[in-house]
Structure formats: structure tokens, C-alpha cells
């Protein structure tokens, strides 16, 4: 069998960003309004700082109005809630993203529930979760990472995923559950596997589509993959790389990439697969949120 096609997430993300930039410019032209994104970071977590900086930069590059709020790690919960409340009322802000995780003294779900559902560009508010679950995806804001995975799958397999068997490994609210719901809406036969799943290799071997969102380096082995399956690797794991020099590290996914290559039909690399799609879909959600708040019709969906 020929080796897997490698899915170029960077290139797809770039094409999505270009489309969003075009659409945002058309909105400015028609209504004089720039989509507005506010990103809130509490604390100094280095990974979160990088994510927030990238989100801010990408928003600016897409022609958005972008605002970054950086708060000290010991900011009281009431101050964070007050900021979210202010952003909820601000007509120049159409999307609010509170970078997770929040410091331990802040109740994450309290903060996420305060964000107006129509400004909830992460798609984590129970209203958006509910809309996705009841099959009203097109009225929801869908979490960015699973939305990005679906774009990659559709661009790889064509628009019609109906009847394919899909296994999602991981049941988090951020990735696994919304991914499973999206695939269900595409009429896939969906299995959600998790840490208590018995005989995971046998479950994965049934799948035409595998989405791995676990956070365990190279857990999914090559011989678990059904010949020709599409493999979407969401995991981002940093592991020691002594071959690159003392103390060096490298990023790997949840799938043993080299091992999977001869089995899979298509596979995302890490880095350069799902990662770039997450930010691109955040831009798409912000534009969607802005158009809805302005009472404008929906545009052609990206997935």
C-alpha cells in the first residue's frame, strides 16, 4: 500500500485565513465595522502567553479590531467577571475568548457561563454546546479545534462523510465531545473512546476516521490503523529529544506518526496539522459572531 497523504494543516489554515480576511474587508466596506475580538489572559503560563500572542497577531492580520487583556495571576475572580461583563456590553467587541486554564482560585465554568453566547467564540457556553448537540450547528458557535479537524477531514475526504465509521479518542468538552457531535451531524457512525475503553486497538481498527485527542505521546500505534483510514492527530506533547542535543525537546502527537504512515490513507503531522487550524477557526467564529450581532445573513460555511 502506498504511504499516507500528509494533510497540510498550515496550508489549509492559510486558505481559511485568506478567506476570512476577504470577508472581513467586505464587512468593513459594507458596514464600516471591523470584527472585534477580545482575548483575556489571567496569569503567566508560558504556553498560554504564546497562544494569546498568536491569536492577537492573527486577528490583526485578518483586519480585525483586536484587544488583549492581561491580568495578574492573583486577580480576584470578581475582577475577571467584571471584565467579561464590560466586554459583553462593548459594541466594538463581537468575540470574547478567556484563555484556559484559569488559575485555581477562579471558577472556570462561572466565567465561561457569563460570556454572552453570541460572543462566545470558543463555543464553550452551555447554550452553544446545546445547539451543537441538538443538531443546530449552524446557529451555534462551534469550538475551534474540532471545527478545524472537520475542515481538514472534508478537504481530505470530500464533503460527504455520511456512513463512515469514526472513532474519537478523548471525551473532553474542548475537543472530544464536540468533535463526536460534529461527526454525528455529518452522519458518521461515531464511537467515543476514553481512558476506560476496553481494547482500544480493536476499537480503533474499525475506524475509517480516527481523531486522537488524548495528550499521550504516540499512544496510538501504527498497526491500530485500518488500512486507508484518515487520521487526525490533535495531541500536542513535548518529549525529550536528546538526539538534537542535551536538554532539547520536540513536539509529537498522540499517534506514532512514522508507524502510521504505511497504514493510513491520510494523516495530519504534529506540528503543522490541527494546531494552525484552531486559530484560523477562531477568526472564522469571530467574523460569524460579528455578522450575527449586526443582523447580517450567514455566509457560506467553511465546513
| Residues in touch with ligand NAD (CB under 6 A) | 145, 169-172, 174-176, 193-195, 197, 200, 213-216, 234-237, 274-275, 278
Tell whether residue 170 is among the known ligand binding residues: yes
Tell whether residue 236 is among the known ligand binding residues: yes
Give whichever of 99 and 278 is closer to ligand NAD, judged by the CB atom.
Answer: 278
Give whichever of 95 and 176 is closer to ligand NAD, judged by the CB atom.
Answer: 176
**Is residue 199 annotated as part of the catalytic site, yes or no?**
no
Residue closest to ligand NAD when measured from CB atoms:
172
Q: In angstroms, rounded to a whole number, what is the distance separating the alpha carbons of residues 17 and 9?
A: 12
Min dist. Cβ of residue 176 to ligand NAD (A): 5
Q: 106 and 71 in contact (C-beta within 8 Å)?
A: no
Q: Measured at the alpha carbon of residue 296, what is the angle toward residues 91 and 138, in degrees to the nearest 5? A: 100
User: Cβ neighbours of residue 48 under 8 Å, at least 6 residues apart?
Assistant: 41, 99, 100, 101
Q: In angstroms, rounded to a whole number, what is the distance separating the alpha carbons of residues 211 and 222?
A: 14
User: Length of the chain in residues, anyone?
Assistant: 303
* Candidate list 56, 99, 119, 293, residue with the active-site label: 99
Min dist. Cβ of residue 213 to ligand NAD (A): 4
Min dist. Cβ of residue 72 to ligand NAD (A): 25
Q: In angstroms, rounded to a whole number, what is the distance separating the alpha carbons of residues 136 and 151?
A: 18
Give whichever of 49 and 172 is closer to ligand NAD, judged by the CB atom.
Answer: 172
**Is residue 248 annotated as part of the catalytic site, yes or no?**
no
Tell whether residue 172 is among the known ligand binding residues: yes
Question: % helix / strand / coil in the chain, to the nearest 5?
Answer: 45, 15, 40
**Is residue 177 annotated as part of the catalytic site, yes or no?**
no
Strand partners, 249: 240
Give whichever of 238 and 244 is closer to ligand NAD, judged by the CB atom.
Answer: 238
Q: 20 and 290 in contact (C-beta within 8 Å)?
A: no
Min dist. Cβ of residue 208 to ligand NAD (A): 19
Tell whether residue 171 is among the known ligand binding residues: yes
- What is the set of active-site residues? 55, 99, 122
Task: Could you list the residues known to form a binding site for NADP(+), using ranges.
Answer: 170-172, 236
Amino acid at each position: 500500500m502506498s504511504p499516507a497523504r500528509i494533510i497540510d494543516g498550515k496550508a489549509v489554515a492559510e486558505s481559511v485565513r485568506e478567506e476570512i480576511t476577504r470577508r472581513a474587508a467586505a464587512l468593513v466596506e459594507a458596514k464600516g465595522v471591523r470584527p472585534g475580538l477580545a482575548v483575556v489572559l489571567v496569569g503567566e503560563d508560558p504556553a498560554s502567553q504564546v497562544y494569546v500572542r498568536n491569536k492577537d497577531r492573527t486577528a490583526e492580520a485578518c483586519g480585525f479590531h483586536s484587544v488583549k487583556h492581561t491580568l495578574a495571576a492573583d486577580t480576584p475572580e470578581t475582577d475577571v467577571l467584571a471584565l467579561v461583563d464590560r466586554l459583553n456590553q462593548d459594541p466594538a467587541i463581537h468575540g470574547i475568548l478567556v484563555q484556559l486554564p484559569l488559575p485555581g482560585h477562579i471558577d472556570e465554568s462561572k466565567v465561561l457561563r457569563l460570556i454572552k453566547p453570541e460572543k462566545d467564540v470558543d463555543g464553550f457556553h452551555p447554550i452553544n454546546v446545546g445547539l451543537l448537540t441538538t443538531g443546530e450547528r449552524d446557529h451555534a458557535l462551534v469550538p475551534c479545534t474540532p471545527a478545524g479537524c472537520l475542515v481538514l477531514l472534508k478537504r481530505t475526504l470530500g464533503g460527504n462523510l455520511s456512513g463512515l465509521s469514526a472513532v474519537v479518542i478523548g471525551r473532553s468538552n474542548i475537543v472530544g465531545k464536540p468533535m463526536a457531535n460534529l461527526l454525528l451531524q455529518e452522519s458518521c457512525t461515531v464511537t467515543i473512546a476514553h481512558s476506560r475503553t476496553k481494547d482500544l486497538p480493536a476499537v480503533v481498527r474499525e475506524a475509517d476516521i480516527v481523531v486522537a485527542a488524548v495528550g499521550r505521546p504516540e499512544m496510538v500505534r501504527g498497526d491500530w490503523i485500518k488500512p486507508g483510514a484518515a487520521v487526525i492527530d490533535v495531541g500536542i506533547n513535548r518529549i525529550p529529544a536528546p538526539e538534537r542535543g542535551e536538554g532539547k525537546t520536540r513536539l509529537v502527537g498522540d499517534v506514532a506518526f512514522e508507524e502510521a504512515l504505511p497504514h493510513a490513507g491520510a494523516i495530519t503531522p504534529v506540528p503543522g496539522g490541527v494546531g494552525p487550524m484552531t486559530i484560523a477557526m477562531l477568526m472564522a467564529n469571530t467574523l460569524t459572531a460579528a455578522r450575527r450581532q449586526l443582523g447580517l445573513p450567514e455566509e457560506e460555511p467553511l465546513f
